[in-house]
């Protein structure tokens, strides 16, 4: 994803099954000074659905499949450049919180070229039925095409199981912090804060 030749960006990775709260916790972290949150899923959901690219991406997402790497790289590059142009993100000052990236070995390799990974927050939940129930609620509340059918959700879980192992295999296992997201939100917040305090100092 060659972005440019500036120093490595410090990155926090957020991994988790659909419904594990990646987006929520990513947004909360992104509100803190010194952090910039980039969700690839949100980036795709914000595309103009009338455009050729938007239509193509929505179709892929609605089937629960992964968007091709080149599209992901191109949109991420544009998002980061824009965030830098408007002063929202400064790589020398801010940590980049990546939510939903990397999801393929090629994405993981591209990330390693431009970033130093400080920490991997793995939002973990043994109870998949709990997640499915959360996602059913979200499909209604947020009108999300990618949450719409149970078959698509199960397909997304299947892809996640595959993607997590390939992406995490590229990251040092010592960087991984497992966070149990079946607990109360306040407890999750405490664990996340402790993990970041330990990793970022
Ligand atoms: P998320 O909001 O992270 O669950 O992502 C929603 C959907 O966006 C996924 O099911 C994929 O279709 C697509 N997507 C998000 N991030 C990526 C990525 N890094 N690579 C390919 N597809 C992605």
pLDDT at 105: 87
Residue to mutate, 42, 63, 67, 149, ligand 1, most ligand atoms under 8 Å from C-beta: 67
Q: Count other Cβ atoms within 10 Å, centred on residue 180.
A: 13
CA of 30 to the centre of ligand 1 (A): 19
> Within a 13 Å sphere around the CA of 121, how many CA atoms are in the beta-carbon half?
32
What stretches of 42-147 adopt beta strand conformation (E)? 95-99, 115-124
CA of 201 to the centre of ligand 1 (A): 30
pLDDT, averaged per 10 consecutive residues of the chain (201 residues), comes to 70 92 95 97 94 95 93 97 96 95 91 93 90 82 72 87 81 89 95 95 78
Q: What is the model's pTM?
A: 0.90
Residue to mutate, 100, 101, 111, 160, ligand 1, most ligand atoms under 8 Å from C-beta: 100
pLDDT at 64: 87
- Cβ(132)–Cβ(24) under 8 Å? no
pLDDT at 54: 96
Q: Is the peptide bond before 102 cis (omega within 30 degrees of 0)?
A: yes
37: DSSP letter: E
Q: Which among 192, 3, 159 is positioned nearest to 66, based on CA atoms?
A: 159
- Cβ(138)–Cβ(195) under 8 Å? no
pLDDT at 84: 96
pLDDT at 148: 65
pLDDT at 145: 65
């Amino acid at each position: 994803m060659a972005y440019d030749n500036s120093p490595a960006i410090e990155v926090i990775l957020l991994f988790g099954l659909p419904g594990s709260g990646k987006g929520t916790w990513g947004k909360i972290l992104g509100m803190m000074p010194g952090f910039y949150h980039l969700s690839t899923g949100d980036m795709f959901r914000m595309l103009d659905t009338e455009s050729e690219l938007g239509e193509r991406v929505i179709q892929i997402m609605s089937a629960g499949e992964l968007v091709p790497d080149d599209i992901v790289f191109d949109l991420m590059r544009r998002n980061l450049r824009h965030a830098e142009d408007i002063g929202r993100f400064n790589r020398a000052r801010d940590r980049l919180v990546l939510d939903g990236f990397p999801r393929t070995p090629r994405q993981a390799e591209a990330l390693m070229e431009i970033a130093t990974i400080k920490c991997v927050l793995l939002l973990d939940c043994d109870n998949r039925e709990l997640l499915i129930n959360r996602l059913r609620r979200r499909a209604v509340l947020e009108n999300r095409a990618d949450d719409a059918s149970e078959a698509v959700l199960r397909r997304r879980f299947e892809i996640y199981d595959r993607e997590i192992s390939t992406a995490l295999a590229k990251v040092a296992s010592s960087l991984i912090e497992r966070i149990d997201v079946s607990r109360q939100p306040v407890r999750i917040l405490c664990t996340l804060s402790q993990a970041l305090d330990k990793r970022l100092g």
